[in-house]
Structure 1
Amino acid sequence: MDSLITAAALALASGDALGALKRVALRDDPPALALRGIAMAQLGDLARAKALLKNAARAFGPREAVARARCVVAEAEIALVSRDLTWPVKALDAARKVLEAHGDRVNAAHAGNVAIRRLVLIGRLDEAERALAALDPTPLPPALRAAHELVVSGIAVRRLRTEAARSAFDRARLAARTADIPALTREVEAAALVLATPAARLVSRGQERSLRLAEVEALLSSRTLVVDACRHVVWSAGNAVSLATRPVLFALARTLAEAWPADVARGTLIARAFRGKHADESHRARLRVEIGRLRAALAGLAEVSATKRGFALSPRAAGDIAVLAPLVEGQHGAVLAFLADGEAWSSSALAIALAASPRTVQRALDALAGEGRVQSLGRGRARRWMSPPLPGFPTILLLPGPLLTD
């Protein structure tokens, strides 16, 4: 490797993308193309970076399998940052195996880290944790170690393990300072803000207040019966009953919880659960059926009793009842939660992350665009959607992934 390539690689490792480009900007040999691609990625021109890395991978000869594998890993990271979730994951895994076979432990570990980041992004936390347990971060230099700790903290935040998340952020800060890359330090500090900003609203006894993640964790582990409107789950002392696929039952549970300790009139329950303006006998009959189903679903956590004018909810164990609600409510909250990260998403990537049909996601995007809450860039397959981050928006509690006991 010649001196200019070595100098450019060292500049990139220290976060000096412009310094690297000064050394290889006019060269078209494969190593220079690869370094130019990584430099352009650091500067934010992801489309150009992707093209340069593809050209570099094609230009490397058959005996340069390691160099090609490194290009694949860099391309996979760019795809992740640009929210191209359709990028072939098998290619990344194959590249990681090539790097391991040739003793490149640093880039093999980095490839594994990129794969785990993708799993976290789409909410497959169980798989991400298994992969994380199998990954040895020891070979990683400080900059990549900081990225690894951000993955660890991301999983901990999604699981609502705030102490573990705080420790991971501290390790990421230390690694970023050691790497002496200001942009990386800013990224870590921005990510750590999730622990200090409001994440949800607590509604109880007719009053409400905002909660941070640590307070949410404490609430869900307490004796309080919590109707979680962020995940559509009912919690009590760490035990959970999911009503995510039963919207009518969840609507009834939330309405009863918001009124506790008072009861709720039948007409109000019908309006909230069935969206009926006028309650007739068929609505009342259906309400009785759904209340019976709610009793069965919450049998271990709460009781639903009939009163003269309607129904009331009460916890089986001593304690309060509260509703955990998003800071911002309305339709398409999950779509907004993803777009609030400030990145540009394609509708297909959102569909993968949300486990929803592309048509459903597109309808949501069109509706949000009509309200002026999101905007699109480009056309056709190059069309991307984004929204400026909303202060205090509860992204973590709306993004996919199980909590606590799951």
Structure 2
Amino acid sequence: GIPALTAEVESTSLVLDTPAARLITRGEERPLLLEQVEDLATSAALVVDMFHHSVRRQDTVVSLGTRPVLFALARILAQAWPADVSREALITAAFQARHLDESHRARLRVEIGRLRAKLRPLADVTATKQGFALTPRKTRQVLVLARPVEEKHATILALLSDGEPWSSSALALALGTSARTVQRALDELTRSNKVQSFGQGRARRWMTPPIPGFPTALLLPSPLLKT
């Protein structure tokens, strides 16, 4: 019968019943609840995990957190599976290149070779007439676990979506980045009216109302938070 506690329970229940991720496979996508995300930890499928920038199948995990180009290539190939992806599409998406030339094609060959070596325990990257395709090992299913909302500062919005006030230093600590980087992102989000602040100096805090369909990444099951 305590109104404040009842409101808190209802708010938490709403977050837990809100899609925590998107599952992309064979060109289609659907939302996943937290318990469904947890089920993927024991799935025999090859999972490209966009939350932790890794490719895994059950207990075998290949981390690509420090190799953004390789992860971008892996994601594009996984989303297209079982079809292939043209070289032009891979270059444009992974290298952010506007005008393609032979140097880009040469770089793509190098990066595909590196990706093939990284993914050897889980999959192969085979050349096709137009480009490349992902061929999983010991499974016939490839899944992409994506964030429910994708935008430039999605991780900051995810943390702020719990409705609690955050300092910029706390956000930087949680994200493993510099306070200056976080502050620039907060300034940009403020200009677009996606976050608001109160207080001055070190007492300044940032917050935003909960975003429908976007619960905090900290609510993910603990086994999936391992790096």
Q: 2:154 aligns with which of 326, 329, 333?
A: 333
In 2, distance between residues paired with 1:356 and 1:405?
A: 18
How far did residue 318 of structure 1 move? Answer: 2.4
Is the CA contact 2:160–2:208 (under 8 Å) kept in the aligned structure 1? yes
In 2, distance between residues paired with 1:253 and 1:397?
A: 24
Determine whether 1:345 maps to 2:161.
Answer: no
How far did residue 237 of structure 1 move? Answer: 2.5
1:196 equivalent in structure 2 = 17
In 2, distance between residues paired with 1:405 and 1:384?
A: 28
> Could you give the per-residue CA deviations for residues 85-108 of structure 1, whole angstroms, max 9, x where no partner exists?
xxxxxxxxxxxxxxxxxxxxxxxx
In 1, distance between residues paired with 2:134 and 2:74?
A: 8
- Which amino acid is the alignment partner of residue 305 of structure 1? T
How far did residue 402 of structure 1 move? Answer: 6.0
Q: 1:390 aligns with which of 208, 211, 221?
A: 211
1:263 equivalent in structure 2 = 84
In 2, distance between residues paired with 1:187 and 1:228?
A: 31
How far did residue 203 of structure 1 move? Answer: 0.9
Which stretches in structure 2 are left out of the alignment for 5+ residues?
A: none
2:69 equivalent in structure 1 = 248
2:120 equivalent in structure 1 = 299
1:403 is paired with a residue of what secondary structure? helix
Question: How much identity, in percent, do the aligned residues show?
Answer: 64
Structure 1 residues 221, 401: closer, same or farther in 2, change over 3 A? closer
Query: Which structure is higher in helix share?
Result: 1
2:97 equivalent in structure 1 = 276
How far did residue 285 of structure 1 move? Answer: 1.0
How far did residue 288 of structure 1 move? Answer: 0.9
Is the CA contact 1:338–1:399 (under 8 Å) kept in the aligned structure 2? no
In 2, distance between residues paired with 1:352 and 1:379?
A: 20
Q: 2:192 aligns with which of 350, 371, 375?
A: 371
Is the CA contact 1:229–1:326 (under 8 Å) kept in the aligned structure 2? yes
1:276 is paired with a residue of what secondary structure? coil
In 1, distance between residues paired with 2:222 and 2:181?
A: 20
2:224 equivalent in structure 1 = 403
1:360 equivalent in structure 2 = 181
How far did residue 186 of structure 1 move? Answer: 4.0
In 1, distance between residues paired with 2:69 and 2:17?
A: 34
Q: 1:311-330 maps to which residues of 2 (within 5 A)? A: 311-330=132-151
In 1, distance between residues paired with 2:126 and 2:30?
A: 28
Is the CA contact 2:159–2:216 (under 8 Å) kept in the aligned structure 1? yes
How far did residue 214 of structure 1 move? Answer: 1.3
In 2, distance between residues paired with 1:192 and 1:361?
A: 29
Is the CA contact 2:16–2:34 (under 8 Å) kept in the aligned structure 1? yes
Structure 1 residues 230, 404: closer, same or farther in 2, change over 3 A? closer
- Which amino acid is the alignment partner of residue 307 of structure 1? T
**Larger radius of gyration between Structure 1 and Structure 2:** 1
How far did residue 259 of structure 1 move? Answer: 0.7
Q: If the length of structure 2 is used for normalisation, what is the TM-score?
A: 0.91
Determine whether 1:207 maps to 2:28.
Answer: yes
In 1, distance between residues paired with 2:213 and 2:138?
A: 33
In 1, distance between residues paired with 2:137 and 2:7?
A: 47
How far did residue 217 of structure 1 move? Answer: 1.6
- Which amino acid is the alignment partner of residue 222 of structure 1? S
User: How many matched pairs?
Assistant: 227
Structure 1 residues 399, 334: closer, same or farther in 2, change over 3 A? farther
How far did residue 300 of structure 1 move? Answer: 0.6
2:224 is paired with a residue of what secondary structure? coil
Q: If the length of structure 1 is used for normalisation, what is the TM-score?
A: 0.53
How far did residue 287 of structure 1 move? Answer: 0.7
1:229 equivalent in structure 2 = 50
Q: 2:201 aligns with which of 365, 369, 380?
A: 380
How far did residue 380 of structure 1 move? Answer: 2.4
> Could you give the per-residue CA deviations for residues 236-286 of structure 1, whole angstroms, max 9, x where no partner exists?
124221111111011000000111111000111001110001221111111
Structure 1 residues 271, 402: closer, same or farther in 2, change over 3 A? farther
- Which amino acid is the alignment partner of residue 127 of structure 2? A
How far did residue 181 of structure 1 move? Answer: 4.7
Structure 1 residues 224, 399: closer, same or farther in 2, change over 3 A? closer
> Could you give the per-residue CA deviations for residues 350-405 of structure 1, whole angstroms, max 9, x where no partner exists?
11222211101011111111221111223322322111111120313688976276
Which stretches in structure 1 are left out of the alignment for 5+ residues?
A: 1-179
